[in-house]
Structure 1
């Protein structure tokens, strides 16, 4: 997988320190095309005075630009907002946190990763079911390959998560959960970002079957109903924002310089 060599420079250029930045999107999902943009996602940390004062800092920063012919889309959330999203059964942020394509990290990132299992519940299935419905409707409207692959990807990832308790967003690792023509669709997507989908007569039936499989996996999942990481995440946010409260030693969640 070819990612620009200058990606690690981007976190150092941001207005607030980043706890982490990872690559999401098609690169994470296993089917980047030759003209795919790079989706960077992460967490920034606002200083305490921009949280408790009258002038508050941005909870979300969103920026898109082009560098060396590559479009970069960077979205970061402040640490507190990101933790709230984690606790709200948000599959997007869970995938961003656990992405193996790490551009920058810190002890805060490492602690978030360690706490991720305590954020997982059976209700994460609702995220994947809802996203699949949205992408399938988009495919029916446009006939493009990208939303069709996204439909299969989220259904496979959600089913795998419910069955194993392990998150894997890469569709090429999850072919066993889908129809046999998935490798052909992935190969076609790698050639063009916005191409039309090949004609697959059984696609609707296959999506219905995989949707039912995810619902069954959700109902049978040995996952908790609610997250257990609330207090640990709260403590992490406080220690990171107010390190002096942790005494003279450097807190485990402090950002690297």
Structure 2
């Protein structure tokens, strides 16, 4: 397993299981862009737990997830204003999806072969020091 994947496993678990809905519910009405962040975090975490690979591009991730709302949300974000909002009629669907995907992430984490904690922190630190110090 690569050094970065070992570190990313723990970070991915911790980040995706925090409160991404806080991004989504802080605006009234809710905005499209923060909702896309939530989907990206959850999809990235699930993908990481299943494959050991970090992929954060939502379009590429959705090629595997095939979520019916993602293409529309991306199109709205790209075509509309920066602070495009969601109609109230869509809120319940996205809240259910958040809970479903979070459960899927937790299950993927339980089945994951990634380590619970990074085992290569010292090696990564040494690499960063060498890169920053440059040739001696």
Deviations 1:221-252 (A, max 9, x none): 11101212222223224334545xxxxxx46x
2-structure distance, mates of 1:143, 1:241: 42
Question: Which stretches of structure 1, 4 residues or more, deviate above 4 A after TM superposition?
Answer: none
1-structure distance, mates of 2:100, 2:132: 47
The TM-score with structure 1 as length reference comes to 0.45
| 5+ long unaligned stretches in structure 2 | none
| 5+ long unaligned stretches in structure 1 | 1-113, 244-249, 252-257
Taking a change above 3 Å as real, the CA distance of residues 230 and 189 of structure 1, as seen in their structure-2 partners, is same
2-structure distance, mates of 1:161, 1:181: 21
Of 130, 135, 142, the residue aligned with 2:18 is 130
Taking a change above 3 Å as real, the CA distance of residues 230 and 180 of structure 1, as seen in their structure-2 partners, is same
Give the structure, 1 or 2, with the largest relative contact order (CA under 8 Å, sep 6 or more): 2
1:82 match:
none
1-structure distance, mates of 2:37, 2:132: 37
Larger proportion of strand = 1
Of 120, 123, 137, the residue aligned with 2:8 is 120
Deviations 1:172-220 (A, max 9, x none): 1122436312101110001132111244242211111111111111111
1:225 match:
116
1:197 match:
86
The TM-score with structure 2 as length reference comes to 0.80
Q: Does the 8 A contact of 2:46 with 2:105 survive in 1?
A: yes
